[in-house]
Amino acid sequence: MNASEDKQPSDGLSVALALVTRIVSAFSSIIEGRIGQVAALERREIQRAASVFAFAFTAAVFACAAAGFAAYAVLTALSEEHRAAGCACIAVGFALLTALAVFLARGGTRTG
């Protein structure tokens, strides 16, 4: 064996290791880019869900206030003799609205 035969296996090994290093680096950069995209997508989805929740909560608060003011207006418009009937009609109306909301909520969550 001479000195040139000893260098060939180590040169071949260093070339193979350099090739493996480049391949791993390429895969690493691809995976890092994809993970960054997924993280950005998750942040946007969380932000969108938070804004939808905030708007839905605000709408619910205003809907409850409007219903309360409507009930108060009906009760003040009725005379003393018809206040009990007015209260019963308001209660039935709210019960129907609640049943409709439950029906729509259950229909929106079903899958299949």
Residue extents of the structural domains in the chain: 1-57
Q: Which is more confident, 53 or 105?
A: 53
Question: Does the predicted TM-score (pTM) go above 0.85?
Answer: no
Write out the two tokens for 64.
Answer: 């409850």
List phi, psi (to 5°) of 68.
-65, -45
Q: For residue range 38-94, list pLDDT tens digits in order.
A: 999 999 999 999 998 898 889 888 988 888 888 888 888 888 888 888 888 888 888
Helix (H, G, I), strand (E, B) or coil at 106: helix
Write out the two tokens for 68.
Answer: 């309360």
